[in-house]
């Protein structure tokens, strides 16, 4: 995305922003920090229990921060050895099938995320393609982070 006053905005005004998620995962300790700027919440796998990681004080997408009346604060969460996080773009969670149904990300994760990080990522690339009948309308990206110590 380009933010340049010399280049007038073009296209749909709803597309003149970007979502982002910033995560700090220290090597030592079991506390991680996340700041979500309009981004879908990551999935957390803790001993096979998979859920969306809540963000207590989400920020708006980038380029919309001027709408804030209060300061956004990052959320801290417990991230223990063996835990796995899955970050993904909205292109994954908003993939639709021929009937308009969204890709069932949570159900997919409950079935796939019990393996180490690489196999679920390979499957996640194929699953939205299959769900959409090879007709993706948005880019998809995902990153898995496994806490080992």
Query: Residue 93 in 3-state DSSP?
Result: helix
Average pLDDT along the chain? 79
Would 61 be classed as within a structural domain?
yes
Contact yes or no for 120/57 (Cβ under 8 A): no
Structural domains counted in the chain: 1
**pLDDT tens digits for 10-62?**
556 556 667 778 899 988 899 999 888 777 889 999 988 999 887 766 665 56
Please, which pLDDT band fits residue 4 given cuts at 50, 70 and 90? very low
Classify residue 62 by burial, with Cβ atoms within 10 Å: 0-12, 13-18, 19+.
middle
Segments forming the whole domain that contains residue 52: 13-146
Q: What average pLDDT does this structure show over 62-79?
A: 70
Buried-exposed string 110-127: b where 16+ CB fall within 10 A, e elsewhere: bebbeeebeebbeebeeb
Q: What average pLDDT does this structure show over 110-127?
A: 75
pTM beyond 0.85: the answer is no
Would 54 be classed as within a structural domain?
yes
Q: Name the token pair of 35.
A: 């700041």
Would 2 be classed as within a structural domain?
no
Would 33 be classed as within a structural domain?
yes
CATH of the domain at 18: 3.60.40.10
Please, which pLDDT band fits residue 79 given cuts at 50, 70 and 90? very high
Question: What pLDDT, on a 0 to 100 scale, did the predictor assign at position 5?
Answer: 44
Would 80 be classed as within a structural domain?
yes
Query: Residue 70 in 3-state DSSP?
Result: coil
For residue 75, the tally of other CB atoms under 10 A from its CB is 17
Would 6 be classed as within a structural domain?
no
Would 3 be classed as within a structural domain?
no
Would 115 be classed as within a structural domain?
yes
């Amino acid at each position: 995305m380009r933010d340049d006053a010399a280049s007038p905005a073009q296209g749909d005004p709803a597309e003149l922003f970007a979502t982002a998620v910033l995560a700090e995962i220290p090597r030592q300790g079991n506390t991680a920090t996340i700041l979500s700027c309009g981004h879908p919440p990551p999935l957390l796998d803790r001993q096979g229990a998979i859920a969306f990681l809540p963000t207590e004080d989400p920020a708006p997408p980038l380029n919309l921060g001027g709408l804030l009346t209060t300061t956004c604060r990052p959320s801290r969460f417990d991230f223990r050895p063996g835990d796995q996080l899955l970050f993904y773009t909205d292109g994954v969670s908003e993939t639709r099938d021929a009937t308009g149904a969204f890709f069932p990300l949570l159900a997919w994760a409950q079935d796939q995320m019990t393996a180490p990080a690489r196999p679920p990522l390979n499957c996640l690339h194929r699953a939205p393609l299959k769900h959409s009948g090879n007709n993706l309308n948005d880019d998809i990206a995902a990153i898995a982070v496994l806490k080992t110590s």
